[in-house]
Structure 1
Amino acid sequence: DRIVSRDRDIQEFLVDNQRFAATHVALQQQLISAQHELRAVSIAGTRARMERKADVCNIADQAARIEAEARSVAGARVEIEQVHADVRVLAAARNELMDRLKDLREQLGCAQSNSAKSENVRSQIETMRREIQKGRVCSTVQQF
């Protein structure tokens, strides 16, 4: 009776052992499968981090280029403002020169008018001088 009972217990242990062995094999396969998945996820995560890092580097480069362009535009804006200031100064100088030219033209007109009068006076003086010389010549001839 005891032997039969032990034999039954042994049989149950063998069945349990086979079941545990099958469960162990199934769990090992699941563990291997989970490890493969974990490696795949880890590789995908590494790739994603690398891609994000590359994206961040690209965005940082773009930001640096945009910032450099903004500085360039700001410098150009300052330069344009200086050119506008220079243009205003030159326009004021041009207006001043135009006013001076107008004054000089007026003075030239007066000088030409005076010159014409002077020419007229010279012409009259020259005519008088000739007449005086004629008169001298005539008076000298009459004295002889």
Structure 2
Amino acid sequence: MGLDGREIIVAGGGIGGLAAALALRQRGAEVRVLEQAGAITEVGAGIQVSPNGLRVIEALGLGEALRARACRGRAVRLRDYRDGAEVTRLDLDRLPASQGYYFVHRADLIALLADAAREAGVTIRLLQKVAGVRPGPKPELSL
């Protein structure tokens, strides 16, 4: 579905907002991201990118770039909360790279998405607090 000529505003410059903005721009929309913070930075520490999340990253054309910044998970161990005994172990080494679990610092993932969005032509405006949205044929934002 082409979005040529559509103007779209994304409220929020976190992982979800930047990924959505990049996907919309790749389909032809003119996209602006409004972020209330003074900089595009991480909140939190590391995150796990599951195979489904990795497919989204790959669809955005960022799979190899993510792999270069991430650590691939080798196994998942589920433990009993009472005594810590291992209940089961999932061997992730047998999965192909395209279906693996990856661990990446939020700052690295946000930087990857922000850089790709800017390179694609997404405008990112900082210090923009969205106070409300009025839907309709011609939606309006109040800042």
The structure whose RCO (Cα within 8 Å, separation 6+) is larger is: 2
What TM-score, normalized to structure 2? 0.13
Higher radius of gyration, 1 or 2: 1
Bigger share in helix: 1
Bigger share in strand: 2
What TM-score, normalized to structure 1? 0.13
